[in-house]
Each structure stands twice: as C-alpha cells, then as structure tokens.
Amino acid sequence: MELPYKSRLHEFWDACKNSPHLGDFEPVCFTLAEGCPLLDSIKVEAPSNAKAVANLSIEGDLAEIRALRLEWIIFYVNHLVRNMDEARIPNPAQIHGAWLRAAAGTPVQDLLLGPLPPPPSEEERKSKPYSIIANKAREEVTLLIRDINHVVEKIGSAKIADMVKDAANKVADQFGGRYHTLKKEMIASINQAVNGPEALGLNLPMALLGATGAQKVPVNAPGQMSHPGAGRLNIVIAPDSMSAKIQDFPTSLYKEKTFEVGEEWLKNEIRRHGIHLELTKPHMRGILNSLAQKVSLEGITVATGIKSRGGTKPSLHSEYLELSSEEKEQSEEKDVVDLRSLQQRQIVKEGQLVASVVYQNKPVVGRDVYGNPLEPASNATLKIEIGDGVEEREPGKYYATFDGVPELGKNTLLLRKMMVHKGDVNLRTGNIVFNGPVEITGSVDSGAQVHVTGDLCVRGSIRNAFVRTGGSLTVDSGIVTGEKGLVSAQGDVKSEFIENSQVQCGGSIFLSRALLNSNVIAGGGIEILNLNDGIIAGGIVSCRENLVTGHLAYKNGNVTELNIGVDWKAELSVRIRQARMDKVKQKFPQSSTILNSSSI
C-alpha cells in the first residue's frame, strides 16, 4: 500500500537511525489505519429507486445497535455500497439519522439512501458555501457544507450549529412536532475535519445531520408485544411527552384467569407503550402497592420526564493538569510507570485541551417519558478573555494553537512560548519536553531528561542527566553527565566547566575553567576563557576550528586525545557506529574475529 506522508516517515526514520541512543528507547510503532468490525445488523441492498444509492436496513438487538459507533456504520455502509459496484457515496447524514431511529427502537427497513453531493465548482463554493436542508418525510434537517474554510473562518462552527437549530424550530412550527438539534456532534465533526483532512486543503463537501424529529411514537407500538394480557392497560401520554398516566382501569382485571395482574405484566405493558422503565422508578413502588391491594389504578402517574437544567456557578478548569487517556491506561495496565513523564504538567502541546468551563452545579439534559433527550437548557455564562496560543474550538473548551506554558486566571487564559521552570528538574517535577526556549532556575538532577527545541539556560548545574536542545546551552555552574548522561546542543555551549561528561555540540564550546576527562565533539571551536589557570586534559576532544587553553593535558595522568579540524558530524557518526560495534562484540564475543576480519 502507498504510505501517507511517505517523505516525513523516511525523514523520521533516518533521524532514529542516526540517534546515538536509539537502543535506549522502545520500538517505534506507526498506526496507518483503523478498521471496523463486521456489523451483522447492517444490511444494504440495491435501491428500489434509481435516484438512490442503496436501500438500508438496520436489524438486531437494540442494545447492540446502540453500542455501535457512527463512524463504523458509515464506513461499513460505504464498504457494502462499493461491493455493489456503486460509484456514488451514500449521504452520511441519512445514515446517521437511520441509526438514531434504530437506536430509539423504530424499525429501519429498506430505507432509501441518497448520494452525497459531488464536489462543488469554485463558483458554487463562493455563491453558496453551505445549505441547510429540511426533509419533512424523514424528520431530518441536514447541514451541507460546500466550503468548510468559509464556514469556519467567516461564520464559526458554533454559530452555524445555532443556525441549524433555528431552521429546525421553524420546521417544527410550520409542520408540527419537536426537533432535537445535534449541536455538539456538528461542532465536533467540523473541528475534526478542519484539523484532519481539511488541513491538507482538500475542501471536500460535508453532509452532517443537524437535527432530527424527537421520538413521539412509542418505541413498541400497541400490538407489537404478545405477552399475556397485552393491550389491557391503557396509558395516556401528555402532549409534551413529559408525563404518563393510567386511564380507564377496570378492577375486573384482577379476576382475569389468562394472566396475572402483577409486576411483570405491568412492566411489559409499560414497555408496550414505549415508556422508558428508568423513568418509572419514582412511581413503581406506589403502583405495586395498589396492585397488591387490588384497587383501581385510574389516574396514577406511571412515569415523569426530566426537565433540562442549565449549569450554574461556572469556573475555568485546568484540563492540562489531568492525566490523558493514554497515561491512565499506562498507569492501569503497566507495572512500571515513568513518573518523570507523568509528573511534568507545566507544558501543553499544540492541539491539546488546555482548559474548559465547568459548573459547580452541573447541567442536566432532560428526557421525555420515551427516554428521548430534550433540548439542553442554557448554562450560566462565563466570559473568558483568551490571549496568544489559545482558541475556543467548541463552546467552553479551549485548545492550544502552539506548544507553550499556560497562564490561567479567574477569567483569563493564554500561553507563553518561553518556559521558566522554577527550581530543580528531578523525579518530583518530572522531565521537560518543550517546543521553544526554556530557562531552569535550578539544576538538572541525575536521571532527568530535558528536550527543548529552542535555547536552554540552566542556572545551576547538569548532573548525570540527558539534555538535548535545538539551540544554544548556557549552564551557570558545571556539566557532569557521567557515562549514562549526555548533553547535545545544536548551537553553542557555555559553562563553568565540563568534567567526566559526554557532550555533542554543533557550535562552539566556551568554558570558564576546565574541560576534564570528557568525550567532547564541537562543530566550531573549544575555548577555555581563563588562560592563566584553564586546562583541557584527559578524554577525547574533537573540534572543527581552533582549540584555545592555558594548559593542555596532564603531566602524569589520563591520556588526552585531540582531533582538530575534523567534521563534527562525521566524527559523531564514526563514534556512534563504533559504540554499536562494541555492543555487538560484548553480546556476541565469538563473532569478534569475523567482524574484525570483515572490516579489514
């Protein structure tokens, strides 16, 4: 198969191969695609109408249908349609509507699926970037987007969803009934498209289900159930579907010999009317007591709907401080958890959810007696002033537009591109990974990792740590990495001293006092600023340009190996390969003779 982003994949793989510490990391895994399971409940046949793409049926257990994911259903229907040699794509909004009806218990049999409109011309995009279409027969309102960039930039995903809601209300006023707007679903689909395929500039047409008629017909219409005594209990539903009462209950039912007027019969009759059993719980004990006393149930309330309630007492919550789903899975499934990575919560990545508006009294989405969700009530508003690096992609949710450090106030939110870490970097604080410049007011302790793409300033020292920077590195005290640590900088390195360390530098190295017993490579020069007492001694020192020091090598001590005028990348590549060869020889000593002879 043709790999997506093939050039980027090769670049990343080359970087992995050239890394001197590739062996210290776990294998890299790429997810190229996600499939879906076989959906036995989905049936697609040739259309009974030439204008349609296919006939859709959804059959099976209600619980299984409700557990399906919409993207699975759309993918699977498209798959079946392609197998029929149909070139047109089914309208995903109609598939969405069919699934909602099936999940509510309404049979979906041989439902005609129309085609998704073809890609519009440039003139159509400009003259009609979107349309809101109402289908009275299906009780659906569809949002057709021809130019998603226009909709997002000129209107906004939240506003276009409100426009669909207004259109659905007009349809309800004109033709009767009540519509439920899928506002959150529309906003999420638009945002996913903008941050996904539309980020490549494809500008494909989108058809989204915007609103659907609320379920008014009982899920199980009278006569559909065949339990003993079916149809003998008359329940009347209020016009607003928010209450249900028993009507015309003859006490002679208690003398029936063909069935028992008890709890099982009562629940079956409630199900026959399509009433959600969960909403009968507050009334069930009283009804059962009346049944036990064999008195009339006339006028007794069977179920009461729940009214929608908006959230109150809003506040801004720091979402970035919470564990991600991947981190939660890691902490639950793995015996060993990287505490350093889990504890670093000062930084957010581009696209990460930074903060959201939460309510002390949470909002409640109501339900009618059939269990259908009602239109959400308006929440108390909280005015948030957002600054650089933050955007509101959906109501009350704020995302990062670049890597940065969040600053949250009571009603303010922004990101700083430069990170200032106060104190030491250690097990308590966690590792630092940041896209930009960083200042650490303390030291980088043993075992810690710091990866930054900009300049790095350490006000203390670096001790047995792994530090990598895409810019220059300044260390006020000294650098001592030991054998396990490493310092790598694309720019210059400035420090008081370097001792017993491994340092790779694309620029020059400037030290106040000494370079001792270290393995150092510099793309520029190496200079000891104190010419009177400064010294370079021990280890392997390589640089492309000048080496300046007051004293060079030990009189009696470790050998000092100097490589002046060498290309630092070539030198680094040789050392990497030599280190790998040494590891192979240690693991397979019997192969050392073969390796040595083959390299001659």
pLDDT at 113: 93
Q: Pairing between strand 535-543 and 509-522? A: parallel
What pLDDT is stored for residue 12 in this prediction? 66
User: What's the total number of domains in the chain?
Assistant: 4
Residue 196 and residue 264 share a domain: no
* Residue 589 included in any domain: no
- Percent over 70 (pLDDT), the chain: 85
Structure-model confidence comparison of residues 588 and 125, the more confident one: 125
Q: In angstroms, rounded to a whole number, what is the distance separating the alpha carbons of residues 248 and 296? A: 9
Rg of the chain on CA atoms, in Å? 34
Q: Per-residue pLDDT averaged across 141-154, rounded?
A: 89
* CA geometry: angle 278, 279, 283, nearest 5 deg: 110
Q: Decide if pLDDT at 315 tops 70.
A: yes
Is residue 343 assigned to a domain?
A: yes
Q: Span 23-39, mean pLDDT?
A: 65
Residues 297 and 324 occupy one common structural domain: no
Question: Which pLDDT belongs to residue 509?
Answer: 95
Same domain, 150 and 194: yes
Examine the domain organization and report whether 316 and 299 are in the same domain: no
18 lies in a domain? no
> Which pLDDT band holds residue 597 (cuts at 50, 70, 90)?
very low
Indicate if the pLDDT at residue 391 is higher than 70.
yes
Q: Quick check: is 579 in a domain? A: no
Domain that holds residue 123: 42-213
List, for residues 493-509, the tens digit of each pLDDT value.
Answer: 999 999 999 999 999 99
Please report whether residue 29 resides in a domain.
no
Higher pLDDT, 298 or 61: 298
For residues 183-211, average pLDDT: 80
In this prediction, residue 80 carries a pLDDT of: 93
Residue 389 and residue 423 share a domain? no
Output the six-digit token pair for 472. Answer: 């220059």
Average pLDDT over residues 373-388: 88
What residues form DSSP beta bridges with 280?
none
Distances (CA, A) of 482 to 229, 303, 446, 496, 578: 84, 73, 10, 17, 19
Coil/strand/helix, residue 53 = coil
Judged against a pLDDT cut of 60, whether residue 23 lies above it is answered with: no
Per the prediction, the chain carries an average pLDDT of 83
The DSSP code sequence of 449-477 is EEEESS-EEESS-EES-EEEESS-EEEEE
Judgement on whether residues 64 and 178 belong to the same structural domain of the protein: yes
What pLDDT, on the 0 to 100 scale, is given for residue 105? 72
Bridge partners for 352 per DSSP: none
pLDDT at 30: 58
Q: Give dist(CA 338, CA 333) in Å, integer.
A: 13
**Same domain, yes or no, for 404 and 429?**
no
Mean pLDDT of 196-219: 70
User: CA 145, CA 124: separation in Å to the nearest integer?
Assistant: 11
Cα(215)–Cα(101) distance, rounded to whole angstroms?
Answer: 8
pLDDT value at residue 500: 95
- Its sign, for the CA torsion 411, 414, 416, 419, is positive
**How far from chain centre, in Å, is Cα 540?**
47
Same domain, 469 and 540: yes
Residues 386 and 434 in one domain: no
Is 65 in the same domain as 207? yes
Whether residue 586 is contained in a domain is answered as no
* The domain boundary residue, chosen from 411, 444, 460: 411
Percent of the chain with pLDDT over 90: 40
pLDDT tens for 324-354 read 555 555 544 444 444 444 445 567 888 889 9
Looking at the structure, tell me whether residues 494 and 511 fall in a common domain. yes
Confidence of residue 308 (pLDDT cuts 50, 70, 90): very high
Interval 100-115 mean pLDDT? 85
Q: Which residues contact 244 (CB under 8 A, 6 or more apart)?
A: 235, 236, 237, 238, 273, 275, 301, 302, 303, 304, 369
CA-closest candidate to residue 116, choices 132, 93, 137, 138: 93
Distances (CA, A) of 158 to 273, 396, 404, 420, 527: 37, 11, 26, 35, 59
pLDDT at site 230:
83
Span 559-588, average pLDDT: 79
**Quick one: 361 and 506 in the same domain?**
no
Mean pLDDT of 576-588: 74
Q: What is residue 61's predicted lDDT score, i.e. its pLDDT?
A: 76
CA–CA separation, 512 vs 474, rounded Å? Answer: 12
State yes or no: pLDDT of 399 exceeds 70: yes
In a domain, 572, yes or no: no
Burial-class residue 179 by CB neighbours within 10 Å (0-12, 13-18, 19+). Answer: buried
Residue 372 pLDDT exceeds 90: no
Q: Is residue 52 part of a domain?
A: yes
Q: What is the pTM of this model?
A: 0.45
Is the pLDDT reported for residue 562 higher than 50?
yes
169-172 long-range contacts, CB within 8 A, separation 24+: 171/134, 171/136, 171/141
